Amino acid sequence: MTPAAPTVVDAGALWGVEGLEAHDVLGPGGLATALTSPERLVSTLERLRDERGFTHLTLLTARECVPEDAQETDTGGVDLVYGLSRHSDHTTVIVTVPLAEDALCAPTISCLWPGANPLEREVYDLFGVVFEGHPDLTRIVLRDDFVGHPLRKSFELSPDGVSAEEVLAAAATHGDILPDGASPEGPCATDQLSPFAAAALPGDPELRSERLILNMGPQHPSMHGVLHLWLALDGEQVVAAQPTHGYLHRCIEKLCEARTYRACTTLMDRCDYVSGFQTELALMLALEELAGIETTPKADYIRVLMSELVRITSHHTWYAAAGLDTGALTPFLYAFIDRELIVDFFEEVTGARMMFNYLRPGGVKDDIPPASAARMLDYLKGFDRAVDEYEALLTNNEVFRARTRGIGILEPRDAVAYGVTGPMARASGVDIDVRRDEPYSAYDRIPVNVALAEVGDTFDRYTVRIAEMRESARIARAALEGMPEGPHVAEGVGRVIRPPRGAAFRKVESSRGELGIYVVSDGGPQPWRLKVRSPAFSNLHVAPLLLEGLRIGDVVAVLGSVDVVMGEIDR
């Protein structure tokens, strides 16, 4: 699609909210950007949420001011970027808050959206922006003793990376950071305990007992990689829980800033490594919007096909983990038999089993070989039977039901407040799905039936994902059968793309939820800023709510149903 010419409108008039300045640009795709000041931030966002229905905080990040912009507005420093979206008409408004270099602070909005709490910690960690009034402003992905804020442009990457001496020095430190009280060196450090410590430390005064603090992870069989969970236990019961992560922070966003747009797909694959196509797709959508590149109809269908197939393999992995987490071995083996068949198809098409690097601006790298397509179509026709088999193993198993039903109920209002999306939100009855709400690629031509559940417990999250597997197979089949003829990639797209100055934010429905890519271009061949809106990040940070009062066995079952991929959370 071609970007609409930017129209200057009065944002205050458009949204009926005072405090939004009339600087604003209605960007392509109906994405409105507005500007406000730190003093008015909280009241503006509150009014947008309560009066205009922008209840979903979809983006909270920052970007270094583009130098040219800085000259115009004479600010410099960092812009905070807030993305709010409205369910009624699926519009998204981006509110930007410029901060001057010498006053990098803004009020916290974690009082409005509790899900903003970890996001603000991330911005603090990577940009050094201080959020006043934040309850626990500490580093979230980097080590507490890390020096500097790496996403600032003044923080330069060394061409050789981290030196061996630094690694050895880091290895020599004690790894465990105990949640023993006030934030270590946070700028908002007060005498108050962090919320977790406040819940964890007092034991039972009458029994003079202490809480057992259990460090689950980062190396634990059911922590889905390297998630680290602090659990305060009273016997087997969880009193408080807090996820810590950053054990897989691989500097993806910073490294993207040093690569051309096309080279960024490599890193996008490794971001959500279980469903690489979807992250690639989000990047391509944002890039194509920014640079005004059209895709071919065939490419749209191939993209949908690959997104849905990779969703199936991702759910296979989840299903395997859901079984293992509750103590059943066999589901893992059954699921991986089928997963391998789909991975074979990926290999035939893209040449890789996991790291595809397949999407290109304007299309895809290669066409699908006809023989592979025919084989995949045959397989998809019988796919429901494979899912029946998975269901036979778990769905009606008495022990599995007893382990999952009524456990870890996520209330819909919490799902909204924490920015939970994807199957996890749909299990709680929150009816959102980017594929249907804001169709991209060929989703406007292939209808999507959104699987919903009501209660939002672990079992519902299970049933929603099982239903999604069936639905994905159906969509993939429709994409294969309805695939138009024509070229698989648009003509005339160069290797190096220099999109005009501007920003784009595009979302896709990944296996875990709403995955967005926010790209800022300064007109150069590399992104000025590339932010991945990680669905698993928000889904994970609602977990403490779910875990409270449960038992150790439930912790792994509930986390399994959240389906986290640490690569995407830490980036």
Q: Are 201 and 192 in contact (CB under 8 A)?
A: no
Rounded distance between C-alpha atoms, residue 564 and residue 557, angstroms? 12
- Closest to other proteins by CB, 6 or 351: 351
Amino acid (one-letter) located at 349: V
- Closest to other proteins by CB, 111 or 214: 214
- Closest to other proteins by CB, 117 or 314: 314
- Closest to other proteins by CB, 256 or 291: 256
Give the shortest CB-430-to-other proteins separation in angstroms: 5
- Closest to other proteins by CB, 13 or 337: 337
Question: In sequence order, which ranges of 327-394 are alpha helices (DSSP H)?
Answer: 330-350, 370-381, 383-394
Distance of CA 304 to the CA centre of its chain: 19
Q: How many CB atoms lie within 10 A of CB 467?
A: 18
Q: Are 197 and 180 in contact (CB under 8 A)?
A: yes
Give the shortest CB-501-to-other proteins separation in angstroms: 26
- Closest to other proteins by CB, 14 or 409: 409
In three-state secondary structure terms, 42 is helix
Rounded distance between C-alpha atoms, residue 163 and residue 146, angstroms? 14
Q: Which two tokens stand for residue 69?
A: 């912009």
- Closest to other proteins by CB, 290 or 434: 434
Please name the residue that has the structure tokens 């589901």: 331
Element (H, E) at 413: helix 412-417
- Closest to other proteins by CB, 266 or 295: 266
- Closest to other proteins by CB, 135 or 331: 331
Amino acid (one-letter) located at 396: N
State the Cα angle at 122 between 562 and 73, rounded to 5°. 135
Residues 6+ apart with CB under 8 A from 49: 55, 84, 112
Residues 6+ apart with CB under 8 A from 407: 457, 458, 459, 550, 554, 557, 558
In three-state secondary structure terms, 370 is helix
Give the shortest CB-337-to-other proteins separation in angstroms: 5
Q: How many CB atoms lie within 10 A of CB 247?
A: 17
Give the shortest CB-530-to-other proteins separation in angstroms: 14
Element (H, E) at 475: helix 458-481
Give the shortest CB-296-to-other proteins separation in angstroms: 29
Which whole-number Å values give the CA distances from 38 to 9, 20, 105, 131, 188, in the listed order? 21, 11, 8, 10, 17
- Closest to other proteins by CB, 270 or 506: 270
Give the shortest CB-570-to-other proteins separation in angstroms: 8
Beta 105-107 vs 130-132: how paired, if at all?
A: parallel
Give the shortest CB-416-to-other proteins separation in angstroms: 5
CA torsion sign, 362 to 254 to 188 to 217? positive
CA torsion sign, 204 to 210 to 213 to 214? negative
Give the shortest CB-274-to-other proteins separation in angstroms: 6
Give the shortest CB-421-to-other proteins separation in angstroms: 9
User: Does the bond joining 218 to the residue before it have cis omega, within 30 degrees of 0?
Assistant: yes
- Closest to other proteins by CB, 70 or 552: 552
Give the shortest CB-201-to-other proteins separation in angstroms: 17
- Closest to other proteins by CB, 105 or 146: 146
* E strand intervals along 27-77: 32-35, 56-64
- Closest to other proteins by CB, 329 or 371: 329
Q: Are 356 and 269 in contact (CB under 8 A)?
A: yes
The partner residues of 244 in beta bridges, in order of sequence, read 228
Q: Which two tokens stand for residue 422?
A: 């994807």
Give the shortest CB-381-to-other proteins separation in angstroms: 22
> If you count them, how many residues does the chain have?
571
Give the shortest CB-175-to-other proteins separation in angstroms: 3
Give the shortest CB-22-to-other proteins separation in angstroms: 29
